Amino acid sequence: MTASEILAAIPKLNTLVLGDICLDRWCIYDPGTAAPSRETGIARVGVVSTEATPGAAGTIASNVIALGIPRVTLLGAIGDDGHGFELLRALRLGGISVDLCVISSLIPTFTYTKLINAVTGVEDLPRIDYISTQPLPLEVEELLLDRLQSYIKAFDVVLVSDQAETESGGMVTPAIRRSLARLAIEFPEKIIWVDSRMRPEHFRNVVIKPNRDEAAAACMRQFGVVDLGKLRRDTNAPYMLMTDGADGAVIVREGGEIRVKTKPEPHPVDICGAGDSFSAGAATALAVTADPIQAARFGNMVASVTIMKKGTGTASPEEVLAAERNWPE
């Protein structure tokens, strides 16, 4: 199928995005205001403007919306706090349904605060992250499990964003992983697609999408050697689609590996969120085509658009079609 045919078909998909939902706060600071604090003597960072956007699972959902899929629902947990207020407002403004989200005072809202120099436009100070290292409260986990099991029948595609880099605190807990493994068997017609930063080896029966470094690290943890085929077999994944930067993507499936090339871009503007945009495009294309090669090609096109934008950009149908016109055979 062409990109045009895929784009015409994917608006019919009902899509769920599950996992870690975070708030990205893009803070522009003026270095000229860095006078020492009268109380501590430490130079202050004078933020003069802030933009709030959805991150992690929110980035994937934003990319799915941008591709023309009108029905996108988030399932995750958000803190009942100020950052949670900002995040919910940003999600709703983006047209993303939060009806299944759990809002709880028992957890903080996962937040990245990025400090960007107003003079240079560069993020040049350490990021301030609001994270949790405590296990997800049981009552929050039980609500997530109940909503996943109760509502999955309504969705054609489930995209899982397992972004937490701590052992505990993320939304995709062992119980959530076990539930996904069971549901993948119960509903084989659905695409359950997992992007896990630190734990791809712990999922079962679902499509997994690590990048090359994540796949290698998972192999080393499991086997002590990099063996992509063994990782796919060990997870019982129908496919593993490994993104490989400027070299495109590698499909690992029964019978071997296939590389799907992308259009090289020597000067990308910002690769932040490229994996999320690939997932949004490739997972929805896989649901339409049932072909991982076509899915990877479409995902590469979507990512080729977003890496030419600052921040976690999205790709419109028109931009994807323009990318296809210049796509290498």
What was the pLDDT predicted at 310?
83
In the chain, pLDDT over 90 holds for what percent of residues? 88
Q: Which CATH superfamily is 3-321 part of?
A: Ribokinase (3.40.1190.20)
The model's pLDDT over 75-117, given as tens digits with 9 standing for 90+, comes to 999 999 999 999 999 999 999 999 999 999 999 999 999 999 9
> Against a cut of 0.85, is the pTM above it?
yes
| Residue 165, pLDDT score | 86
Single-letter amino acid code for the residue at 134: Q
**pLDDT on residue 271:** 83
> With bands split at pLDDT 50, 70 and 90, how would you rate the model's confidence at 272?
confident
Please state, in angstroms and rounded to a whole number, the distance separating the CA atoms of residues 124 and 271.
Answer: 16
Condensed to tens digits (0 to 9), the pLDDT of residues 287-307 reads: 999 999 999 999 999 999 999
Torsion of CA 126, 130, 131, 134, to 10 degrees: 130
| pLDDT higher than threshold 80 for residue 329 | no
pLDDT at residue number 270: 84
Average pLDDT over residues 246-269: 92
pLDDT of the residue at 232: 97
Give the pLDDT of residue 220.
97
Residue 311 confidence class, pLDDT cut points 50, 70, 90: confident
pLDDT at 312 over 80: no
User: pLDDT grade, residue 321 (50/70/90)?
Assistant: very high
- pLDDT computed for residue 63 by the predictor: 96
